[in-house]
Structure 1
Amino acid sequence: MARRWPQTRGLTPRGSPGSTRPRRRSRRYDCRLSRVFMPRFLFVTSRSAFPPTSGDRQRTHLILKAAASVGDVDTLLMSRSVTETDLQPWRETLGRVEVVVPRFRGEEAPWRWIRPVAPKWIDRAAHNLGRQSRAWAPDREVGGWIARQLGRVRYDAIIGRYLQPTARAGALRYVPVVLDVDDLDTEVYASRLRVPGMSGWRRAVIRHHLRQLERIVPDHLRRCAHVWLAKPADRAVVDHPSVSVLPNIPFPGGQTADVACEPVDAAKGVLFIGSFTHRVNHEGVDYFLRAVWPKVHGACPEARFQIAGSGLRDEKAAAWEKEPGVEIIGFVDDLRACYRQCAFAVVPLFEGGGSKIKVLETLAFARTVLVTDHALAGYEDRLHHGESVWVARNETELADGCLKLLNDPALRADMGRRGCDIVAASYSYERFQAIVAETFEGVSAAHPEGVRRR
């Protein structure tokens, strides 16, 4: 009896007649028919995998790649900013992707009646003043697309990237869902309350949101079959019977042998690399320039603060470059050249959830990194102060750490080498892929019927 291939729009199944996509060895079997079946997953995300120039995009890319090594993956991308240029390499390397745009909170009642007057401000007011439960409610258009897709194609599991977008897509109406928490929403909001110098009104809004999320998040987590966490410490705050730690790894996969740079004793560059479309990076650099850099440059005038990354607005770049010793590099294609010229990197961030991939990326290039204690979260068991990284708790310790590393080339070189070895041994793509494969084996065994309505 010939196998009946699932019907999809615009996608030729792997290994079927006429397909140009190579057929992989299957991982699932139907014993009654003695036939081999390829697992199939629906990946739901609001974060694009291309271009992989930021930590969230890199993790999206890596999860997709690991899932594609186990089975076929179709992706639902909920994004307004993605371009066809971004989607082309996605379709060529990671399979089918469909873009469906959810509504902004300001496009829903009662805000939609006044939104045309000032869309940006109304969206912000709806987010700040509205109930969080509405922001987590399934979007009609996205949920409708999922329902129609599940009516056409049999999937073995839904993979959700972040909890809120997964809920917004209506995916939690179905089982089984494997959720990549990465940045736990309650942790993100709690960390914002610890940011130095925050205004009173903003702190009040964040507290208001956090109280609501503390009720919403646990209920939504319970609807998932399995949860991936980015760091071990999250086990203490995520109450779920099926949890595993899927650690962040350097992109494209923890291979340090090809990128490690030789130390440069004369280097005086302090490097920050990040995407400035991410507010946390923007505010972290602002804080470092305001509270830390004047002390460093005053004590070491030859020091240079090198700022690299995409998404930095021209007016902000011009303002930062007026500061003594600051160099704006902008987007770079060759990260190795950037790291080769610096003495060490800095991650002066105080908020956010998950773990910071840029910490591992720096060590993969054999450069040590000066981090806040918050930025080290998730790596404390392997990366230790004074051995592979330098940890600071406040602006004074950040300035002192900068000067120590600038003035001691031998110390920073030893720390960079040790960190590079740790990354190669503990943060490999092979380990990452094995965790993903093991998860799907367990979920498939518990839900042999595949995705169904809850």
Structure 2
Amino acid sequence: MPGEILFLAHRVPFPPDRGDKIRSHHLLKRLAEIAPVHVGCLAETDGDMAQESELAGIAASHFLARRAKPLPLAGFEALAKGLPVSLSAFDHAGLRRWIAGTLAERPIGTVFVFSGQMGQYVPADFGGGVMIDLCDVDSAKFEAYGKQGGLRAWIDRREARLLAREEEGLAHRAHCTLFVSEAEAALFRSRLRDPAGVRIEALRNGIDTAAFDPLAVAPHPELAAQAGPHLVFTGQMDYAPNVAAALRTAERLLPAVRKVHPDATFHVVGRAPVPQLRRLDGQGGLRVWGEVPDVRPFLAAADAVLAPLEIARGIQNKVLEAMAMARPVVLSPEAATGIDARDGEHFAVGPDDGALIDRTLALLDNRTAAEAMGAAARRYVVDHQGWAAMLAPLDGIVGARRAEAHRDAA
């Protein structure tokens, strides 16, 4: 056998309840079918730590520890060392020791790095294959943040510059660098100062269409008992692009919708809503739910799902989940990036506030058209976005490197 796999992730891949964890979860499951996998990852909450038994059930061995470094300390360390804050924040001495021991004791042929923060853990003298899933171009995201002005903009511009350097270095270190869509892969290629020898592949996100099945999920009883219409947004609600999208809807889109539908309610569903959102809860038709055990009942009860993100990288799982639940989705062009569905058939794209309002009202006012769009969306994800189909190329990518490693060793 060409060797076992060391899988490194910045967050424990259980439960698969947010974008990055959904992707890392399914990647880990598929890699475990290829070879024994040893998993090193970090946790942020008690809930994350409680997933250790799940991790032990799939990993040949594992390391899970809480990431407890305060962000200000990570920032000072990054400034002192000339590093991106992202790397300093995810640096953990215990994980480094475990990785060194695992590489010394186990026949590791491939290190699979999930997310750029974890590339720092691959030893310079490791002679096996290295695969890095950057998912999306984080440096481009920080560049977008850096255009907003103020002290934070300076911090974001610094992070963008240093992360771009780190991302390119990782791509040269890796046998193959993965991205979540062809658009992200093309963007990364366009930003490389030295593209020679860099192999880049797109490995798209999938969706669990059995779990996100409208026939298997009852609408949330509280929403079902209210007249509506109900507009739903899901996501991690301390993540800046999600916060901005929710505020955009609450402040600029929802008031226009409520002029036509006075009882319309906008439901923000997701963990850790920031104080700015919580203060708006109950005002002007806005309901901030915070963390819920399951987003699917909210999607099942939605008359439309909104995703008006102005900064979005990669493929938005929130969009795929809503489509799988046969809901009509109104979204920005940024949120539609990487999903090869058709505007007007599978979802409704609005390039600005006015268009988003018009498309939302059109769906609310034509239930037949809304249901047809939801049904078409469901068919699209079932036919084109299942995880098995999305991860099928992984066998060839990993297998090719493992075959090379076997030839080199022979």
User: Is TM (by shorter chain) over 0.5?
Assistant: yes
1:305-324 equivalences under 5 Å are 305-312=266-273, 315-316=275-276, 318-324=278-284
CA distance in 2, matches of 1:426, 1:280: 27
Which blocks of at least 5 consecutive residues in structure 1 are unaligned? 1-27, 30-38, 105-118
Counterpart contact for 2:205–2:387, Cα < 8 Å: no
**CA positional deviation for 1:100:** 4.8
- Counterpart check, 1:281 vs 2:245: no
**CA positional deviation for 1:87:** 1.4
The C-alpha deviation readout for 1:305-327, integer Å capped at 9, x for no partner, is: 112122235x5564122321122
Aligned partner of 2:302 in structure 1 is 342
Which blocks of at least 5 consecutive residues in structure 2 are unaligned? 190-194
CA distance in 2, matches of 1:141, 1:323: 46
Bigger drift between 397-406 and 342-351 goes to 397-406
Aligned partner of 1:89 in structure 2 is 54
- Amino acid of the structure 1 residue aligned with 2:62: V
CA distance in 1, matches of 2:84, 2:19: 27
CA distance in 2, matches of 1:173, 1:304: 56
For residue 141 of structure 2, the aligned residue among 171, 174, 188 is: 188
Aligned partner of 1:6 in structure 2 is none
TM-aligned CA distance change 1:431 to 1:253, over 3 Å: farther
CA distance in 2, matches of 1:172, 1:376: 38
Cα RMSD (Å): 3.1
Aligned partner of 1:226 in structure 2 is 176
Which has a greater percent of helix? 2
The C-alpha deviation readout for 1:115-165, integer Å capped at 9, x for no partner, is: xxxx65454455579733686487655433322211111112111001222
Counterpart contact for 2:171–2:199, Cα < 8 Å: no
* 3-state SS of 1:207 partner: helix
For residue 286 of structure 2, the aligned residue among 326, 344, 347 is: 326
CA distance in 1, matches of 2:14, 2:284: 35
Counterpart contact for 2:129–2:175, Cα < 8 Å: yes
TM-aligned CA distance change 1:89 to 1:294, over 3 Å: same
TM-aligned CA distance change 1:219 to 1:133, over 3 Å: same
Aligned partner of 1:303 in structure 2 is 264
Aligned partner of 2:192 in structure 1 is none
Aligned partner of 2:64 in structure 1 is 99
- Amino acid of the structure 2 residue aligned with 1:328: V
**CA positional deviation for 1:248:** 0.9
For residue 116 of structure 2, the aligned residue among 156, 163, 169 is: 163
CA distance in 1, matches of 2:308, 2:250: 10
TM-score relative to the length of structure 2: 0.85
- Amino acid of the structure 1 residue aligned with 2:247: D
Moved over 6 A (4+): 252-255
CA distance in 1, matches of 2:389, 2:314: 18
Identity value in percent: 19
TM-score relative to the length of structure 1: 0.77
For residue 393 of structure 1, the aligned residue among 345, 351, 356 is: 351
- Counterpart check, 1:54 vs 2:11: no
* 3-state SS of 2:336 partner: coil
CA distance in 2, matches of 1:444, 1:344: 46
Flag the structure with larger Rg. 1
TM-aligned CA distance change 1:305 to 1:450, over 3 Å: farther
Bigger drift between 386-395 and 151-160 goes to 386-395
CA distance in 2, matches of 1:291, 1:193: 23
Aligned partner of 1:409 in structure 2 is 367
**CA positional deviation for 1:224:** 0.3
TM-aligned CA distance change 1:127 to 1:400, over 3 Å: farther
TM-aligned CA distance change 1:50 to 1:215, over 3 Å: closer
